[in-house]
Amino acid sequence: MKSSNQFSDALHIAAHLVGQDGPRTSEQLAACLPTHPVVIRRLLAALHKGGVVRNARGHGGGSQLARDPATITLHDVYVAIGAPPLLHTGARDTGRGCPVQQVVNDALDDSYRQAQALLEQRLRGTTLASLGEAFARHLAHHAAGVPHDV
């Protein structure tokens, strides 16, 4: 099963807005992913509703971060898009009458809850500003000819 890229795409969009001096259109952001501008507009609407971005319509309009990127965590972005499951492997739904399947599902469910909580904790500890700083370091290394695996 292919996992949803919604969270990754929302982070990608938000990261592209870090350090921008003005709004960016959905067409500009769609070229960065790449995807269709309609997909970007849906994510921007969710990010706007979640207080991560602000949108302006009309000529010269677009989207930009609603507040300082140092105050926006990856968890804020995650919650803004509806907190989709971070783990996509789930317990088997069939076999409800089988006691072994019930034990397996209980063990998996507990592990997934713990893993989800840990992932969310880590997302709370990372800001969009730190993504911007990591990108700046990447660009500096690239400009200096440092290999990507360093």
Q: What does R_g of the chain's alpha carbons equal in angstroms?
A: 19
Q: Tell me: the pLDDT tens digits for 14-72? A: 999 998 888 999 999 999 888 899 999 999 999 999 999 999 888 888 999 999 999 99
Q: 6-17 vs 128-143: helix axis angle to the nearest 10? A: 70
Encoded tokens for 71 = 């105050």
Say yes or no to pLDDT of 3 above 50. Answer: no
Domains of the chain, earliest start first: 6-143 (1.10.10.10)
Say yes or no to pLDDT of 146 above 70. Answer: no
| Phi/psi-derived region of residue 139, left when phi > 0, alpha when psi is between -120 and 50, beta in every other case | alpha
**Mean pLDDT across the chain, nearest whole number?**
86
CB 71 within 8 A of CB 56: no
Q: Tell me: the pLDDT tens digits for 75-127? A: 999 999 999 888 766 566 665 677 888 788 888 888 888 999 999 999 999 99
- Asked whether the bond before 34 is cis by omega within 30 degrees of 0, the reply is yes
How many C-beta neighbours within 10 Å does residue 93 have?
8
Say yes or no to pLDDT of 6 above 70. Answer: yes
Say yes or no to pLDDT of 5 above 90. Answer: no
Q: What is the pLDDT of residue 57?
A: 86
Q: What is the pLDDT of residue 2?
A: 39
